[in-house]
Amino acid sequence: MAGTNPSPSEYIQHHLQNLTYGNHPEHGWSLAHSAQEAADMGFWAIHLDTMGWSIGLGLIFLCLFRKVAKSATTGVPSGLQNFVELMVEFVDQSVRETFHGRSRLIAPLSLTIFCWIFLMNLMDLIPVDWLPGVAAKVGEMFGADPAHVFFKVVPSTDINATLGMSLSVFALIIFYSIRVKGLKGFLAELTLHPFNTPNKLAQIALIPVNFLLEFVTLIAKPISLALRLFGNMYAGELIFILISLVGIWQLPLHFPWAVFHILVITLQAFIFMMLTIVYLSMASEDH
């Protein structure tokens, strides 16, 4: 951490900094030792902690559900099988009630989104010093300065992760829009709505206005998805960090906030999933 006895500001900044690898203008390809070095690495720098935890938690989800699927029985189910079946039925019901098109992708996609984001959010309940402290010890064993070993464990508090997921949803929105309406229909939706008139000259004049309004509406979908998840989880993480600074009051404050935060992390995963279903359903409607 930043010094043996870091100030509150240094402590917070250290916990909010990602483990970043990239091409530094002076040091070449290396790990960033400060927030400034991470910024100097530019757009192509990689947050190794975000990537590692995202992939790892995704693999846990896949392996867990695959194991249950292979060992599923019609007899007395195990507790894990009951839980997985409950999750599948819950997501399937949500898709049936919300998605009005036809697609074999939406239900498994929605299940993956909900479980994956929930697992990433769940990492926020781990005390903020535990895993970064382990990372600092490991870094020290390899000769690194513990003050320069950064390690964030909640991928959904990284705007790069949430924006990456929302851009994937945005790509699916475009795909389903063109698939259902055709390229001509998709472009017509962007340029002939919301203002439409039988007069051709007036309609041509309204194309720039329609395109601006529809484009803003379209691009707002992935941006709102990313910022909503990131903002709520980042705020929750920051509160946990602030709680860890209060000394003997840490446990009495940590427990009630953690209980409340369970609702937050579940709700944020659910909202991301439901908005994805809604957006894809809207894209699949042929007016």
Q: What is the dihedral of CA 202, 207, 212, 217, to 10 degrees?
A: 100
Q: Can you give the C-alpha Rg of the chain in angstroms?
A: 23
Output the six-digit token pair for 237: 């993480």
CA nearest to 27, candidates 38, 43, 16, 13: 38
**Selection from 166, 175, 168 nearest residue 103 by Cα:** 175
Would you name the residues annotated as active-site residues?
A: 224, 228, 232
Mutual angle of helices 106-122 and 79-98, in 10-degree steps: 120
